[in-house]
């Protein structure tokens, strides 16, 4: 533990930071040893006082891998672990922010119960789905109109099948072909209707393994009308090899939808959007690169500031929802500068 003026200065810094955070917070030295913790962290970890908190931290710090990781600076780092409590293990997320030399190095950390986050995220997810409803409706109505027109033509052909027939057997064969066409159209309509938000109900979706490429294609199919209306040149670069991911597929699909919609809305004057994906040692990684520097939305080189900001405009809210979903599922979301004329979103899918 630090003593003297340095300790007083760091404690003052901690009190200032944790007042803004409004959640369970810790101050760690450069070796990830505990210096200070607030009341919320004690409650979350079931500690009665600072002594119990310090002992508890020595147990859980290795679970987050803090004792084996090298020091870092710059963008926040997110760690996930199962923490033992009286009622069993609890999934928690630790968000680390590096402190610079002026305050003696170390880390300011925020600890969150991922179970509570999941509940909040479900509420945010529903609000986010409602924001994307208009875009989905435009595409779905276009699809359904085409399907219904095809069905109408097929039914008219069925009704006139006897008039076309030279004998009974060929007419019956044609009629069966028309009926098969109608069945195929009904199947297409069923698939289109299943894309409507809320069709699967409000229950929490299960954790499953899924193909990242399929989710990307489904979202782009929903947004293709907006892409056309904004005169966007869309380039899709997906590998032939599988891109497996594991998590709650509907949530992660919505997160990808939010980010893609945000990028397309930033390109109302047209431009080029590249969606690419690849498999790395850490899992599937998706990149969305556009050639429009949307500074009006607060994009800066340190793109994580946008994701961590408390701004309440709809676009930023959608990004915060997406970021929360990725992190709760064990993935990550970041923004990189592509130079003066582009922005790159980097999405690491959960494994």
pLDDT at 124: 60
| Most distant CA atoms of the chain, gap in Å | 104
Instruction: Kindly state the average pLDDT of the residues 126-134.
Output: 61
Question: How many Å apart are CA 275 and CA 232, to the nearest integer?
Answer: 12
Helices (H) and strands (E) in the chain, counts: 11, 12
Bridge-based pairing of strands 271-280 and 232-237 is: parallel
Q: Which of 19-28, 72-81, 100-109, 157-166 has the lowest mean pLDDT?
A: 157-166
pLDDT at 112: 81
Segment 246-256, tens digit of pLDDT: 998 988 998 89
Instruction: Kindly state the average pLDDT of the residues 70-78.
Output: 68
Per-residue tokens: 320: 């915060």
Q: Which of 64-78, 112-126, 296-310, 324-338 has the lowest mean pLDDT?
A: 296-310
Query: Is the Cβ–Cβ distance between 39 and 79 less than 8 Å?
Result: no
pLDDT at 95: 84
Bridge-based pairing of strands 271-280 and 332-337 is: unpaired
Beta bridge partners of 279: 284
Q: What is the mean pLDDT of the chain?
A: 75
| SS3 at position 7 | helix
Range picked from 72-76, 233-237, 264-268 for highest mean pLDDT: 233-237
DSSP code at position 170: H
Q: What percent of the chain has pLDDT over 90?
A: 15
Greater confidence (84 vs 328) lies with: 84
Instruction: Kindly state the average pLDDT of the residues 110-117.
Output: 74
Greater confidence (261 vs 104) lies with: 261
The helix (H) or strand (E) run that includes residue 118 is helix 114-159
Range picked from 160-164, 249-253, 303-307, 316-320 for highest mean pLDDT: 249-253
| Listed residue (254, 256, 259, 261) closest to 243, CA to CA | 256
pLDDT at 311: 40
Greater confidence (142 vs 314) lies with: 142
Query: Is the Cβ–Cβ distance between 83 and 93 less than 8 Å?
Result: no
Q: CB within 8 A of 240, min separation 6: which ones?
A: none
Instruction: Kindly state the average pLDDT of the residues 220-234.
Output: 87
DSSP code at position 330: T
Question: How many Å apart are CA 86 and CA 181, to the nearest integer?
Answer: 61
pLDDT at 50: 87
pLDDT at 336: 77
pLDDT at 8: 63
pLDDT at 241: 92
Segment 173-217, tens digit of pLDDT: 777 777 777 777 766 766 666 555 554 445 578 889 999 999 999
Question: How many Å apart are CA 113 and CA 181, to the nearest integer?
Answer: 52
| SS3 at position 183 | helix
pLDDT at 277: 95
Q: What percent of the chain has pLDDT over 70?
A: 63
Global pTM value: 0.51
Per-residue tokens: 216: 């990307």
pLDDT at 288: 93
């Amino acid at each position: 533990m630090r003593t003297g003026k340095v300790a007083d200065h760091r404690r003052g810094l901690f009190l200032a930071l944790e007042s803004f955070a409004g959640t369970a917070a810790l101050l760690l030295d450069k070796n990830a040893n505990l210096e200070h913790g607030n009341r919320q962290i004690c409650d979350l970890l079931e500690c009665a006082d600072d002594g119990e908190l310090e002992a508890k931290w020595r147990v859980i710090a290795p679970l987050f891998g803090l004792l084996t990781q090298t020091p870092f600076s710059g963008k926040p780092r997110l760690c996930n672990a199962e923490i033992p409590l009286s009622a069993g293990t609890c999934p928690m997320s630790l968000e680390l922010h590096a402190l610079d030399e002026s305050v003696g190095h170390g880390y300011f950390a925020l600890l969150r119960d991922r179970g509570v986050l999941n509940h909040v995220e479900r509420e945010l997810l529903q609000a986010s789905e409602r924001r994307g409803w208009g875009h989905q409706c435009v595409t779905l109505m276009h699809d359904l109109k085409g399907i219904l027109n095809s069905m109408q033509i097929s039914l008219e052909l069925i009704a006139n099948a006897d008039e076309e027939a030279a004998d009974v057997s060929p007419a019956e064969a044609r009629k069966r072909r028309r009926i098969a066409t109608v069945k195929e159209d009904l199947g297409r309509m069923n698939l289109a209707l299943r894309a409507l938000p809320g069709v699967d109900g409000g229950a929490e979706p299960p954790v499953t393994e899924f193909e990242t490429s399929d989710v990307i294609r489904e979202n782009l199919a929903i947004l293709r009308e907006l892409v056309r209306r904004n005169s966007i040149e869309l380039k899709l670069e997906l590998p032939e090899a599988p891109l497996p991911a594991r998590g709650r597929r509907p949530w992660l699909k919505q997160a990808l939808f939010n980010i893609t919609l945000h990028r397309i809305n930033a390109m109302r004057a047209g431009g080029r959007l590249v969606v690419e994906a690849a498999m790395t040692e850490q899992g599937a990684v998706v990149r969305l690169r556009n050639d429009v520097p949307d500074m009006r939305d607060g994009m800066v080189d340190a793109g994580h500031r946008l994701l961590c900001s408390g701004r309440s405009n709809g676009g930023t809210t959608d990004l915060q929802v997406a970021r929360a979903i990725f992190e709760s599922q064990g993935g990550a979301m970041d923004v990189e500068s592509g130079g003066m004329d582009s922005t790159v979103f980097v999405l690491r899918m959960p494994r």
